[in-house]
Amino acid sequence: MFNDFKLMDDRPVSIQVKEYVKRLIIKGALQAHQKLPSTRELSTLLSMSRNTIISAYEGLEDDGFAYVVHGKGSYVAAAVSSVAASSWELDWGARVNAHARQAVELDLMKRGIRAKKGTISFTSIAPDEKLFDLDNVKRAFQDRMSVEGNVLLNYGYAKGYKPLIDYLLRYMDHKGVDLKGKDLLITNGFTEGFDIVLSALNRKNGSVICENPTHNTAIKNLKLHGFEITGIAMERDGINLQELEQALSDKAFDCAYFVPSYHNPTGIVMSPEKRQTLMKLMTRYQVPVIEDGFNEELRYSGSHVSPLMAAAGQGNGVIYLGSFSKVLFPGLRVGWVLADRELIDYLESIKRARSIHTSTLDQSILYQYLHNGNFEKYLRKARAEYKRKYEWTKQCCEAFIPYEQLSGDGGLHLFVAFEEGFDTRVLLEACSSQGVIFTPGDIFFTKDGQGRHTMRLGFSRVADEDIGKGIRIIGETARQLRG
Amino acid sequence: MFNDFKLMDDRPVSIQVKEYVKRLIIKGALQAHQKLPSTRELSTLLSMSRNTIISAYEGLEDDGFAYVVHGKGSYVAAAVSSVAASSWELDWGARVNAHARQAVELDLMKRGIRAKKGTISFTSIAPDEKLFDLDNVKRAFQDRMSVEGNVLLNYGYAKGYKPLIDYLLRYMDHKGVDLKGKDLLITNGFTEGFDIVLSALNRKNGSVICENPTHNTAIKNLKLHGFEITGIAMERDGINLQELEQALSDKAFDCAYFVPSYHNPTGIVMSPEKRQTLMKLMTRYQVPVIEDGFNEELRYSGSHVSPLMAAAGQGNGVIYLGSFSKVLFPGLRVGWVLADRELIDYLESIKRARSIHTSTLDQSILYQYLHNGNFEKYLRKARAEYKRKYEWTKQCCEAFIPYEQLSGDGGLHLFVAFEEGFDTRVLLEACSSQGVIFTPGDIFFTKDGQGRHTMRLGFSRVADEDIGKGIRIIGETARQLRG
């Protein structure tokens, strides 16, 4: 015994010794009330300083694994060992419910193609971390810590970190949103906000209307919440209003979900005129709107376009979900819900029951970063870089891909549609064997089997050279497949 | 116009000017294609450097609120203004469902007594932030940032941050847990873990068995998930096994929820013998156990006690929910679920659908902090301090409070029971008018109206002097009420 000890990593040695002895005790190799080797003996045996062993033994005592008899030494404490109750096997597959099974079925991360090393991958629309201004983030952390210190590490509020809430309210005010009668809840990114909103909404008809195609995480969560989804076709300048009005008059909906700017996956920005008419329609049919503010900041050209919530003026029919995740730092899980004050009060209680509150550290660092004026600087840099990549990717698509339609007014991806009947799953098969992958478009459609002829190309994290190389391969392979 | 501009705060001036002009445009004070004052004019008007105005105008251009006509100046961009669609009022009270309404009803934070300034409050069992070793947290942040940098700010994995997962697996192994066939999921604290587990479990009988009283957040979430709760009375050394066996033989349960160590609110530690028998019972009746590892680290005396999951050996019937929130930093929203590998796979997909993943920054800072060996040092300091406070609080209770039973083997609170019929809500009324508040015990009981004669005293954040003063007041007031 004791001679098989070895240092596992660079953690303090005394802790590794403590844990080693702990294991011997737990596994029963050392029995209750058995005497432990003296600190001198063990220090010789392990050739370590005696102090290291002493503090290891103190640790064992602190943790209740050993006790000291003065003048005699350390002994193993009683009642430590836990002889297993008759080992017990449950069939968890039978213990989980339909919701859990559906969550796995709809979990694309578990069914996506794994990219081998060196693969050119157009599947990501996450920001390019090389652009992150880490020093400003570090400064924000230090600044905030020196202002508030320890309180940042203790419990915060379900509603969110007050300075950030105030900052975001002003931020939304500057987008032209009328804040009267509205309030804001901080969430763990867009996804938690969307999930909380869906679990609060009354299910009178159990149906939701949205653009088709649309954000696949939204489709997933709508399904997980048991909503039936009606998808409305997209046009070059946004959702098809005739189809929308037809659907609204045919059927009652509990709510609508729209991505008006840099729509995922088509990248289309809904025209200001359409936004006005859309809001008039939703008002007439009294269908509340969940607006996904996704990527609004990644405008590369043209005039500023106000969110739907701005078009609603003092009206309270729009629930705005915001996040900087595609622009700033997705690793900081911070998003927000701006909506009618009464509704936010309900959402706050659900949030508290779900996760108490969002990381105070994430919120306070983000706040300080924004407050220091880093966002504007960063955005200029990021916009310039993404704009360049966006134009380059577009150019490559135009040069190499035999598409029928190419869309994307900004953001971090383009959307390609081939002629009906062409199958991008087959294309993906053929391309991945050549080291190039992308996102097949069908996952963004509200009905299974739709959009098999489409694909999304995320360029944010692909090097210029690879963009050219990858898109050429996709294009050539597509031509071969079409014969 | 422009003469009512004033600096609002310490953010960069050019940004404040940009936002000021933005507002004028959004509110329609500046019309589309109207010429903006030249940068020279405006710099004179606002008596600011011309460069400030120039970068403000550049910002307006970046954001699509203005465009430049070379040689002529800057103009307001078109299609900015968003004339509100006919304002639209929804009755959100009628649009939310029963779940949302229940979440508000059960939200104690919205019904607790607000403590006026200077009030002595025994309501909190959060750690005392004065004990936090902030410098080590800052170091952990810097260490991790210098190792990994930008990737920490980009997307992570739903399952959690790998180094932390590995650390926690070893941590649980050292508690005597057999890891074979098990896996670990990182969550936003205990609460999200519990919520995810409950939403995955099959509801065959719709009923759960637990200690009575028990953790009130658990009661809340069980109710929000529609479970019917059967509470089993507590004894000095933990749950009453006869009552438990009776209930198990009378009725089928989907799962059990237990807090074996420093049970909230009684502070009782279940004896090793009871743990063994309890596990044998649960195995016989095949009822999966959700174990709340709450406060296991705050042992002040006696031998180490292994978690129930250790007693289950290789069995997969126990779901262990861990968190350092009551010991370390609650502001870092990090907890974990250790359970059967197959089950964790389901929970991971639910977690991804709920919030994608837990803050990478929180996880990596916590990992580095633990890895640096700070936890052991901190725990020694915290244990010593809390032990002192614990003994002092106990002493005060024994001296001043006419209780029938006083419990609490460790942790950050004590639990007081007066004789049946005594009403701690009335006591609270009387005390709060004297500037002392505590948590009435009824909120911890599974049936309404139970435990009116009990109260919980959290001492972690109360100064020694106030502990003495506050408990004397509670005691004297109790005597008066009992006449």
Q: What is the pLDDT along chain A (483 residues), one digit of tens a residue?
A: 787 888 888 888 998 899 888 888 887 788 888 899 999 999 998 889 999 999 999 888 888 888 889 889 999 887 644 555 567 889 999 999 999 999 999 998 888 767 788 999 999 999 999 999 999 999 999 999 999 988 889 889 999 999 999 999 999 998 889 999 999 999 999 999 999 999 999 999 999 999 999 999 999 999 999 999 999 999 999 999 999 999 999 999 999 999 999 999 999 999 988 998 999 999 999 999 999 997 777 888 777 788 999 988 889 999 999 998 778 888 888 999 999 999 999 999 999 999 999 999 999 999 999 999 999 889 889 999 999 999 999 999 999 999 999 999 888 999 999 999 999 999 999 999 999 999 999 999 999 999 999 999 999 999 999 999 999 999 999 999 987
- Residue B47 Rama label (left phi>0; alpha psi -120 to 50; beta): left
Give the up-direction half-sphere exposure of residue A240: CA atoms within 13 A in the CB hemisphere.
11
Chain B, window 365-404: residues with a beta carbon less than 8 angstroms from a chain A beta carbon: 365, 371-373, 376, 379-380, 383
Helix or strand (DSSP H, E) at A336:
strand A335-340
Q: How far is A166 from chain B, CA to nearest CA, in Å?
A: 13
Q: How far is B34 from chain A, CA to nearest CA, in Å?
A: 14
The pLDDT value given to residue B86: 59
The pLDDT value given to residue A81: 47
Domain B13-76, what architecture?
Orthogonal Bundle (1.10)
B355 Cβ under 8 Å from any chain A Cβ? yes
Compute the mean pLDDT over every residue in chain B, rounded to the nearest whole number. Answer: 92
Residue range(s) of every CATH 1.10.10.10 domain in chain B? 13-76
- Going by C-alpha positions, the residue among A207, A273, A205, A208 that lies closest to residue A239 is A273
Q: Between chains, do A95 and B150 touch, taking CB under 8 Å as contact? A: no
Q: Between chains, do B141 and A141 touch, taking CB under 8 Å as contact? A: yes
Please give the radius of gyration of chain B, using alpha carbons only, rounded to the nearest integer. 28
Residues B93 and B110: their CA atoms lie apart, in Å, by 17
Chain A, window 234-263: residues with a beta carbon less than 8 angstroms from a chain B beta carbon: none
Q: Between chains, do A353 and B191 touch, taking CB under 8 Å as contact? A: yes
Check residue B205 and report its DSSP letter. Answer: S
Q: Between chains, do B353 and A84 touch, taking CB under 8 Å as contact? A: no
Residue range(s) of every CATH 3.40.640.10 domain in chain B? 133-372
Strand residue runs (E) in B77-176: 120-121
Question: What is the CA A351 to chain-centroid distance, rounded?
Answer: 17
Interface test with B, best of A86, A88, A129 (most B CBs within 10 A): A88
Residue range(s) of every CATH 3.90.1150.10 domain in chain A? 111-130+377-482
CB neighbour burial string for A81-96, b if at least 16 within 10 angstroms, e if fewer: bbebbeebebebeebb
Chain B, window 31-70: residues with a beta carbon less than 8 angstroms from a chain A beta carbon: 59, 62-65, 67
Q: Residue B175 burial by CB count (10 A; 0-12/13-18/19+): exposed, middle or buried?
A: buried
Q: How far is A421 from chain B, CA to nearest CA, in Å?
A: 32
Q: Residue B2 burial by CB count (10 A; 0-12/13-18/19+): exposed, middle or buried?
A: middle
Q: Between chains, do A333 and B358 touch, taking CB under 8 Å as contact? A: yes
B223 Cβ under 8 Å from any chain A Cβ? no
Smallest Cβ–Cβ distance between A352 and the set B109, B132, B380 belongs to B109
Smallest Cβ–Cβ distance between B342 and the set A93, A137, A176 belongs to A93
Cβ contact B355:A191 at 8 Å: yes
B342 Cβ under 8 Å from any chain A Cβ? yes
Question: Complex ipTM, two decimals?
Answer: 0.91
3-class DSSP assignment, residue B276: helix
Q: Between chains, do A356 and B188 touch, taking CB under 8 Å as contact? A: yes
Strand residue runs (E) in B188-275: 207-212, 228-235, 238-239, 255-258
3-class DSSP assignment, residue B318: strand
In chain B, which residue's Cα lies nearest the Cα of A313? B84
Q: Between chains, do A315 and B84 touch, taking CB under 8 Å as contact? A: yes
Helix (H), strand (E), coil (C) string for A247-313: HHHHCCCCEEEECCCCCCCCCCCCCHHHHHHHHHHHHHCCCCEEEECCCCCCCCCCCCCCCHHHHCC
Q: Between chains, do B62 and A189 touch, taking CB under 8 Å as contact? A: no
3-class DSSP assignment, residue B185: strand
Q: Which stretches of A106-212 are DSSP H helices?
A: 134-148, 162-173, 189-200
Smallest Cβ–Cβ distance between B303 and the set A80, A130, A156 belongs to A80
Interface test with A, best of B281, B354, B358, B375 (most A CBs within 10 A): B354
A146 Cβ under 8 Å from any chain B Cβ? no
Q: What angle do CA A162, A163, A166 make, to 5 degrees?
A: 85
How far CA A275 is from CA of A259, B77, B79, in Å, comes to 11, 18, 11
| Phi (first) and psi of residue A258, to 5 degrees | -130, 145
Q: How far is A435 from chain B, CA to nearest CA, in Å?
A: 23
Tell me: the pLDDT tens digits for B10-52?
888 898 898 888 888 887 788 888 899 999 999 998 889 999 9
Q: Between chains, do A195 and B23 touch, taking CB under 8 Å as contact? A: no
Q: Whole-angstrom distance between the N-terminal and C-terminal Cα of chain B?
A: 72
Residues A104 and B430: their CA atoms lie apart, in Å, by 53
Interface test with A, best of B106, B142, B180, B359 (most A CBs within 10 A): B359
Q: Residue A56 burial by CB count (10 A; 0-12/13-18/19+): exposed, middle or buried?
A: buried
Cβ contact B442:B449 at 8 Å: yes
Show residues of chain A in contact with B279, CB under 8 Å.
85, 88
- Going by C-alpha positions, the residue among A369, A299, A324 that lies closest to residue B61 is A299
- Residue A230 Rama label (left phi>0; alpha psi -120 to 50; beta): beta
Task: Find all residues with CB under 8 Å of A327, minimum gap 6, and list them.
Answer: A127, A295, A297, A298, A379, A382
In chain B, which residue's Cα lies nearest the Cα of A305? B80
- Whose tokens are 């859309």? That residue is A278
Chain B, window 433-462: residues with a beta carbon less than 8 angstroms from a chain A beta carbon: none
Q: Between chains, do B191 and A78 touch, taking CB under 8 Å as contact? A: no
B206 Cβ under 8 Å from any chain A Cβ? no
Cβ contact B226:B203 at 8 Å: yes
Q: Between chains, do A188 and B355 touch, taking CB under 8 Å as contact? A: yes
Interface test with A, best of B67, B90, B148, B365 (most A CBs within 10 A): B90
Residues B277 and B237: their CA atoms lie apart, in Å, by 13
Interface test with B, best of A22, A54, A80, A92 (most B CBs within 10 A): A92
The pLDDT value given to residue B459: 97
Cβ contact B58:A384 at 8 Å: no
| Residue B81 pLDDT greater than 50, yes or no | no
B220 Cβ under 8 Å from any chain A Cβ? yes
Structure tokens at B401: 């409070």
Q: How far is A403 from chain B, CA to nearest CA, in Å?
A: 30
Residues A14 and A133: their CA atoms lie apart, in Å, by 38
Strand residue runs (E) in B117-173: 120-121
The pLDDT value given to residue B371: 93
B358 Cβ under 8 Å from any chain A Cβ? yes
How far CA A78 is from CA of A65, A72, B173, B299, in Å, comes to 8, 17, 19, 15
- Going by C-alpha positions, the residue among A291, A367, A317, A339 that lies closest to residue A179 is A339
- Going by C-alpha positions, the residue among B260, B262, B271, B239 that lies closest to residue B446 is B239
| Phi (first) and psi of residue B251, to 5 degrees | -155, 150
A87 Cβ under 8 Å from any chain B Cβ? yes
Give the up-direction half-sphere exposure of residue B61: CA atoms within 13 A in the CB hemisphere.
14
Residues A227 and A209: their CA atoms lie apart, in Å, by 10
The pLDDT value given to residue B83: 53
Tell me: the pLDDT tens digits for B352-375?
999 999 999 999 999 999 999 999
Q: What angle do CA A465, A469, A473 make, to 5 degrees?
A: 165
How far CA B247 is from CA of A90, B41, B69, B194, in Å, comes to 21, 83, 82, 23
Q: Between chains, do B315 and A340 touch, taking CB under 8 Å as contact? A: no
Show residues of chain A in contact with B137, CB under 8 Å.
153
Smallest Cβ–Cβ distance between B314 and the set A87, A155, A352 belongs to A87
Task: Find all residues with CB under 8 Å of B205, minimum gap 6, and list them.
Answer: B251, B252, B253, B254
Higher-confidence position of B114 and B409? B409
Structure tokens at A340: 């009618």
Give the up-direction half-sphere exposure of residue B457: CA atoms within 13 A in the CB hemisphere.
31
The pLDDT value given to residue A130: 92
How far CA B329 is from CA of A253, A358, B363, B366, in Å, comes to 44, 13, 12, 9
Which strands sit side by side in the sheet containing A182-187, from one edge to the other? Answer: A182-187, A335-340, A318-323, A289-292, A255-258, A207-212, A228-235, A238-239
| Residue B84 pLDDT greater than 80, yes or no | no
Q: Residue A411 burial by CB count (10 A; 0-12/13-18/19+): exposed, middle or buried?
A: buried
Interface test with B, best of A7, A17, A95 (most B CBs within 10 A): A95
Smallest Cβ–Cβ distance between B346 and the set A11, A81, A100 belongs to A100
Q: Which CATH class is domain A111-130+377-482?
A: alpha beta
Residues B11 and A373: their CA atoms lie apart, in Å, by 6
How far CA B408 is from CA of A125, A228, A377, B397, in Å, comes to 52, 51, 55, 12
Q: Residue A50 CB: number of other CB atoms within 10 A?
A: 13
Cβ contact A314:A178 at 8 Å: yes
Check residue B472 and report its DSSP letter. Answer: H
Task: Find all residues with CB under 8 Å of A19, minimum gap 6, and list them.
Answer: B170, B174
Residues A412 and A408: their CA atoms lie apart, in Å, by 9
Residues B217 and A353: their CA atoms lie apart, in Å, by 7
Interface test with A, best of B76, B92, B142 (most A CBs within 10 A): B92
3-class DSSP assignment, residue A415: strand
* CATH assignment, B133-372: 3.40.640.10
Cβ contact A25:A80 at 8 Å: yes
